[in-house]
Amino acid sequence: MVTVTDIFHTYYDLCQGQHQQGRGGPSIGKAVELVEANAKSWGTGAANLWSLWDKHKDVAHLVTAATLVCGDVHTRSGNKPFGPFGLQVDQFGPFQMTMLMPDLILAVGLEFERHGLKRIPSGRSEPKFDPNTLWRIPPDINVVPLPPPSRNIRPQDLCVLNKRRAGNRGRVNRCKTTPVSF
């Protein structure tokens, strides 16, 4: 699930920085390409990332919010335990963060959900998230969307995106043959 988090958070960062506008704007495909280029572990090839995205895209906003808050807690704690009998830093995972700070997770998740539902990629007529299958956060729970801090796209990541091969663009590859006459 962490790779789904990486894909969606990278997509969010591409959208916030308004990158690749000349090449169709931000997309999940571009985010997958960046995650694949930066990943160092097994199972992070493009085919596996697409498979994971297809399986878990309906909960990507919630998992990304929990993982983002978890990473922030790790950064702020500085590898020190919380209190004399508190949890150790390695005991803070996305699930524990969801149990300890549900309102914060829901606030960030609500912003990710809103972003995924309102953003319509170029060349498509429907938003990035499928409204029928998405795990929606109820609107009446008294939580205000909290935008997460957007990360800057590194220059080496922009090089990866600029070298990315453009797709077929709708033109059919037809074999030209000469007719045989008898």
Residue 67 has which token pair? 């993982």
DSSP output for 13-68: HHHHTTTTGGGTS--HHHHHHHHHHH--STT-SHHHHHHHHHHHGGGHHHHHHHHH
What are the tens digits of pLDDT across the range 29-74? 888 888 888 887 777 788 888 888 889 889 999 999 999 888 888 7
What are the tens digits of pLDDT across the range 124-156? 667 777 888 888 888 888 888 888 887 888 888
* pTM of the full structure: 0.76
Domain segments of the chain as ranges: 2-163
State yes or no: pLDDT of 174 exceeds 70.
Answer: no
d(CA 179, CA 182): 10
Greater confidence, 45 or 11?
11
Greater confidence, 2 or 164?
164
- Model confidence at 117, pLDDT cuts 50, 70, 90, reads confident
Distance set, CA 79 to CA 2, 70, 88, 91, 144 (Å):
21, 13, 8, 11, 30
Closest by CA to 141, choosing from 106, 115, 109, 113, is 106
